[in-house]
Chain A
Amino acid sequence: METYFLKNDDLLKFYERIAQEYELYVPVRSRLAYKDECGCKPGFPTDDYFLRKFSQVNKEDIVFSDYRCVEPTRAFFTHYKEEVSAYFEDAPLKEKRERPLALCGIKNCDIFSLKIQDFVFLEGDETDQLYKTRRDGALIISSDCPHFKEVCFCRAFDINPYPLEGFDFNLAPLNNGYLLDVASPRAKSIALSLKSILIPATLGQLSGRAAKRESLDLRLDEHLKQYNIPKKETLQDTVLSGYNSGIWNDEARTCVECNGCVFMCDTCHCFLLADEPSAQNSKRLRLWDGCLFKNFTRVAGGANPLRLRYMRLRNRFLKKFDFFISNLGMQACCGCGRCIDVCPGKIDIRRILRKLYEEKHLPTS
């Protein structure tokens, strides 16, 4: 992998070059007034970032995002609601986007989540062609996190706040610019065309980046101490042995079944195939579904294995920390904290995991 230095002033040129070939999305900042009273602990950033189309934003609004964006990255690869088939027409659906995606502002938690999405939609004999077209074509321009939100907990699961793989380009802020990692062949060919603004990184710059990364690791670890989140090696045992725990019911009390946690989650993937009638030829839609919805597992006749709310909350954890660990060897949680951010019932995945772990391991008085 080659690493270059890109001056602050040249970042826009880099974006413009990408936008020649790709439909580029870049981070913009959102300052929401209510966030000042959101109950976040002082000292933590409250701004949020969204990804917006480069061609449609004011260039002065483009920022370097300090941490992951609000929307889950998966939203670019499977849309909330989209047509995936028409009846009996032997014509595979084509991606409507004319140019492939380029996503800037992707963080390491998002890259981790894409591994889960890839497993679901690409592995095996049955590939989701729309997902594959988007994913194969997408240029991932990830970046280091210089800060973290109060809800961020990637390091609890040994995921670092800076990517080392899974990207085409990676940007790491340093002094008056960025260190740009160029990883893939297509990124290399873009970099070749940008020779005038890319300066090979010096050893000093590389160690500068390493020092920044180490410092953030330490700060995040210090922040996470209070949450005492179980290590990833213990997650499966923690949720399985807590199957009959009363914690599920206690925690589900404030759940309003909005499924915000599911829809903001970057590793959740469940969907429903629903048919939309029309006079000529009905459409089949693939809609994001959520396991906190009451009818998620209901079958005709009315039987419902997940009929109570606490069962559905437990199911979500079993899927993330039992099913995926058994089938893929990794938990379906990247520690991005989006589910904590969004939950109106203040249900906190860090707290539930800790309580389950403690119930199993700590002596009861």
Chain B
Amino acid sequence: MKKNIYQPVKAVIEEIIEESSTIKTFRLKPEGDFSFSTGQFIELTVPGVGEAPFTPSSDPGVKGSLDLTIMNAGEVTSKLHSLRKGDAVGLRGPYGKGYPLDTFKGKDILIVGGGVGLAPLRSLLFSLFSKINNYNKVVLRYGARSPKDIVYKTSLPDWAKMERVDVLVSVDIGEPAWQGNVGLVTTILGNAPIDFTNAVGIVCGPPIMMKFVTLKLLDIGFKPPDIYLSMEKSMSCGLGKCGHCRLGKYYACKDGPVFTYEQLKDIQGIWD
């Protein structure tokens, strides 16, 4: 008999890191082998409550554990935020198509994140950092609502110090102590040190942010096939069967969640 596609495997919470008042990173240790490619997602089961889709935020190269950075936003996540180290959760996956790292080789990579959308991008950053010589440059532009909403606060300055890496953070609403840029993330894209003729743009964040970043990237010279969007939808089964995440002729869970803008540009209502 073949495997049961709806069955989660057990994973134990090894560590919980508080990123902000509403966001925590959970380090999970799954039973048995579990690996993923950067950009793929998993279905996380909180026992007795249900499942929700998340893209791991850790380095896919690290075997034996994975990190999920999760905002307390709904039924499953609020219960998850009340769990403790040692508690058991379930995992299914990984599902979908991740980032095509091979096609990024030799290019400038502009990564634009919004809010907790930096979580899946952190996994991508780790993948890029591990073979940084394959790429010309990695430029991260990150926007958060306010300084206290910034995730990976301690990592961001470390990343900024790395060779070939350029990091800039902006917040929508500043605070007296905030020294950085104030304004939407689109305001720090125009002067990014990027050779737009040989670059890819990678975007992850809330739909409205993705829309305006995409328009901005097109405006500054990116071509639709070079813009990669992480289209998170209400993905329930992850298998291309349950029908919740339809996006035109695609399912976000199976054909995505990473799409090029070229794939999506003719579909109506993609930013809804």
Contacts and interface: CB of A to CB of B under 8 A. Distances in A.
B217 interface: no
Interface in B33-60: 45, 47-52
Size category of the A interface is: 35 or more
Given A87-B90, A300-B74, A300-B77, A273 B4 contact: no
From DSSP, what is the main secondary structure of chain B's interface residues? loop
A55 interface: no
A243 B268 contact: yes
B100 interface: no
B212 interface: no
Nearest to B4: A92
Contacts of A273: 6, 50-51, 236-237, 242
Contacts of A305: 233, 269, 272
A162 to B, nearest CB: 31
Interface in B1-58: 1-10, 45, 47-52
Interface in B57-105: 71, 73-77, 88, 90
Contacts of B2: 92, 127, 129
A124 B240 contact: yes
A208 to B, nearest CB: 44
B93 to A, nearest CB: 11
Contacts of B77: 300
Contacts of A270: 242-244
Contact of B75 (A127, A289, A300): A300
A126 B241 CA distance: 9
Q: Which of B6, B7, B75 has the most CB of A within 10 A?
A: B6
Interface string B226-269: 00000011101101111111101100000000000000000011
A322 B249 contact: yes
A13 B131 CA distance: 73
A273 B245 CA distance: 14
A84 B4 contact: yes
A121 B241 contact: yes
A323 interface: yes
B246 A323 contact: yes
A120 interface: yes
Interface in A3-31: none
B253 to A, nearest CB: 11
Q: Which 3 A-B pairs have the closest CB atoms?
A: A300-B74, A270-B243, A277-B48
18 contacts: A84-B6, A85-B6, A92-B3, A92-B4, A127-B2, A129-B2, A243-B268, A243-B269, A273-B236, A273-B237, A277-B48, A289-B242, A291-B243, A297-B233, A297-B245, A300-B73, A301-B71, A305-B272
Interface of B: 1-10, 45, 47-52, 71, 73-77, 88, 90, 206-207, 232-234, 236-237, 239-246, 248-249, 268-269, 272
